[in-house]
Structure 1
């Protein structure tokens, strides 16, 4: 029986205030790797600065320019594309939304960030997404020939219930477009991905934007792939770069058989 291998690409790109430049960067970097991947992921707010006050200016309705360009890119490359996230305008509200396109460029899922990033760390980061964004209300799973895949956005990773909800559909991998900062990144980025991958016995990919010290919000970077054993399979540094890896889903099955955490859960006691 042929081994089940998934080729993934995560683009840790520089994000500027120029939407067209951001789109062109995403397109050119992925087109340069045509034929080398089954699935590609972009960072959180890949087409605009990660600043709450700017989200209304960059917001687009579903089917807008960014959506169209990413749909066409997925179709041209024949890949699944998780188009990072972008500000989505819908019925007068703005969401932090990630669209998923299949190999034909069809939208097969979208995730609206469920947990908004409202923090005020003494001596560290202050940020209030709720100033301009509305929270999503659903957890997101989409189907592929490799199995069901989970999707959430950045701050969602901090809530175990996010992954337990997706896990009910037996996801084999999950993706997190993200932008941790210089307060939370060094402290919690790698720990969060290793922990959630281990708890749920999945491969877990976090795709960040590259670090720009001059930006209003400075991203930590360090795009990461954690495996079902809770180890880091690959990780970038803070600079712009591309993470290309092959995920061995047969190994995931073996880990679940040998250390059957998911079978040993007793949900009737957890309420």
Structure 2
């Protein structure tokens, strides 16, 4: 799902709360509802809530259900009740004989505006889960464009690059990591943000399902917040004007990698072709040395 890229105008901030929740396997939807309600009451400036991968039931495909379905409807009602954008981690989606790991995107009216199926299941461990085949970006009116990826997707840099070429400025990345490679994932999140000049919001689960250590990165790869291993509510603001300036002038007036990538005609051996056209990258203006303004 996509629309036209942002082409100008001053934009402000947008409040997001990442919920790193200490969860156990089983039905966690009532707990999620209570936590989202608490965020809505405590942080009225927050407009979007993001949770960790598979936090609704855990990593058990026996909980898979069609989408739309009862679990998704519960989450839609929750978003509408509190007037929030809700990206509730992911659910196992039963689609015919296949099972996908799917993230719904729900708007404040309780409507599903997009669903992202995880492109790269964590094989050989996430057995029996089908691979998605598309990229999801969506617009929040008056704010900016968001892209969605799930956990192991981040290990393939083409996924984030593709979302950015479709205009994504913020990558929403629910994760469920309970292994010793979390430190590496934090490095990948920072690198993804820096090389794509985007916000990267990587929310893990805690408790029995994950090791926590969620991380929010800004468009220079800087860490806005890194969580510990337990429950945390990570409320922060995306500054779209700052992001646009980083893309146009470079983070701290330094590199402008999106423009250099756009302007180079090299054909990469892994793909056999130069980059595809991107209205989002074309809108950034020429590559030039920043001046005083």
Structure-1 residue corresponding to 2:17? 9
| Offset, 1:2 | 6.8
Give the one of 168, 175, 178 matched to 1:178: 175
Structure-2 residue corresponding to 1:41? 50
Q: Does the aligned pair in 1 maintain the 2:218–2:224 contact within 8 Å? A: yes
Q: Does the aligned pair in 1 maintain the 2:194–2:221 contact within 8 Å? A: yes
Distance 1:118 1:77, change over 3 A: same
| Offset, 1:14 | 2.0
CA RMSD, aligned part only? 1.5
Unaligned runs of 5+ in 1: 120-127, 213-217
Q: How far apart in 1 are the matches of 2:21 and 2:76?
A: 19
Q: Does the aligned pair in 2 maintain the 1:13–1:25 contact within 8 Å? A: no
Residue 188 of structure 2: SS of its match in structure 1?
Answer: helix
| Offset, 1:49 | 2.3
Alignment pair present for 1:253 and 2:267? no
Residue 110 of structure 1: SS of its match in structure 2?
Answer: strand
Structure-1 residue corresponding to 2:30? 24
Alignment of 1:212-231 (within 5 A): 212=208, 219-231=210-222
Q: Does the aligned pair in 2 maintain the 1:112–1:138 contact within 8 Å? A: yes
Q: How far apart in 1 are the matches of 2:230 and 2:148?
A: 24
Give the TM-score taking structure 2 as reference length. Answer: 0.81
Q: How far apart in 2 are the matches of 1:88 and 1:12?
A: 22
| Offset, 1:195 | 0.3
Alignment pair present for 1:264 and 2:260? yes
Alignment of 1:233-248 (within 5 A): 233-248=224-239
Alignment of 1:109-148 (within 5 A): 109-119=114-124, 128-129=125-126, 131-145=127-141, 146-148=143-145
Residue 65 of structure 2: SS of its match in structure 1?
Answer: coil
Q: How far apart in 2 are the matches of 1:67 and 1:142?
A: 18
> Deviation string for 1:144-196 (max 9, x for gaps)?
1212210010000111110121112221101110012332113x121011000
Residue 46 of structure 2: SS of its match in structure 1?
Answer: coil
Corresponding pairs, count? 250
Q: Does the aligned pair in 1 maintain the 2:177–2:205 contact within 8 Å? A: no
Alignment pair present for 1:166 and 2:163? yes
Distance 1:211 1:185, change over 3 A: farther
Residue 268 of structure 1: SS of its match in structure 2?
Answer: coil
Q: How far apart in 2 are the matches of 1:58 and 1:257?
A: 45
| Offset, 1:17 | 2.6
| Offset, 1:3 | 5.1
Q: How far apart in 1 are the matches of 2:18 and 2:156?
A: 23
Structure-2 residue corresponding to 1:99? 104
Unaligned runs of 5+ in 2: 1-8, 251-255, 274-293
Q: Does the aligned pair in 2 maintain the 1:11–1:26 contact within 8 Å? A: no
Q: How far apart in 2 are the matches of 1:18 and 1:153?
A: 20
Q: Does the aligned pair in 1 maintain the 2:144–2:240 contact within 8 Å? A: no
